[in-house]
Amino acid sequence: MDSCQRIINSAAPMRICDLGGWTDTWFAQHGAIVNIGVYPFVQAQMFVRSRDDQESRINIFAENYGERFSVDDGRLPEGKHALIEAAFSLMRVPDDVAIEVHLYSDAPAGASTGTSAALSVALIGALDMLTPGRLSPYEAARVAQRIETEVLGLQCGVQDQICSAYGGINYIQMSNYPEASVSPIHIPNSLWWELESRLMLVYLGSAHVSSDVHKRVIKNLEASGAEDRRLAGLRQEAERAKNALLCGDFAKLALAMNANTEWQRQMHEGLVGKAAETVIALARRHGAMGWKVNGAGGEGGSLTLLFGPVGTAKRRFARDLAEAVPQARIIPIYLSRFGLRVWESPAE
């Protein structure tokens, strides 16, 4: 962007291994979730300069798609970039500036890792720098969640946005949708490094898309109420995972992951897809201790795997994965100690 006056940067992690997911929703009413913030993150870079009345005020470069477009913050968001456009209806750009925002992530879209939430949080963080005052991590998460539910009218829980805003490992207690409290789970460096070395994220090769299966699950859960035994089971596994992490007990963490995936399967067999079942079976043969279908589940998306302490097992699994599920691939991850980060590049 020519004659740029400011360059504002932001980055937000995505989440994996969301134990207790589905209980952070309006139909669950209250919930408990443990999730883990990881890189790759979503990055936003915003170029700001004085406004020229003859040009578009808000321009976007969606780098992953190689697409450029302008946003009218008074227009109803629509199309595949509706989430980006919707952010500007809640985070108003001052009238006296023009901006160009570049958005990028190394993570594939539709991986069931909360990438859309990370995109919203990163964009909100950058836009927050244009106006007086600053949003807290919790406030940024709430605005991001409102974009999906209030502006776009989508089904959306609260945990993805919270993880992107806070980073790290969190125990989230939703007392009354959408209000929640966040308790970061702090573990020693040695345990952090060990957990990071044991985890693996497997993208199943196709984007997760909310389907009729999810609509049927939501309808059934709405009918059975907040104390449905499956929702209660999911809350219980989040509690077990929290205790396991605080105690450094990988065996109990694995049990919580596996039980959580089983509760997802009990909600509807379609929530653990065929590709996920194949990957789980292969991972078990290679000594994996735990497996969690990320997000709401269904066809496509991704899995979090937890291996034992011997790194060779992970590498053998990775070599065999290409033959067992050719479309799948491993996404390299690192645990994120930070959530939303916002900074300004120095003038040059």
Within 10 A of 175 (CB to CB), how many other CB atoms are there? Answer: 11
Task: Specify the pairing of strand 58-62 against strand 97-105.
Answer: parallel
pLDDT at 208 (0 to 100): 74
Q: Indicate the angle between helix axes 229-247 and 250-267, nearest 10 degrees.
A: 160
Instruction: Give the Å distances, CA to CA, from 21 to 33, 54, 158, 160.
Output: 6, 47, 10, 9
DSSP-derived pairing of the beta strands 6-19 and 31-50: antiparallel
* pLDDT at 269 (0 to 100): 87
What is the set of domains in the chain, with CATH numbers? Answer: 6-344 (3.30.230.120)
In the predicted model, residues of the chain with pLDDT beneath 50 are: 1
| pLDDT score, position 211 | 64
Is residue 336 a contact partner of residue 314, using CB atoms and an 8 Å limit? no
The per-residue pLDDT for 154 is 86
pLDDT of residue 207: 83
The reported pLDDT for the residue numbered 73 is 64
Question: What pLDDT does 289 receive?
Answer: 98
**pLDDT in the model for residue 63:** 95
pLDDT for position 216: 85
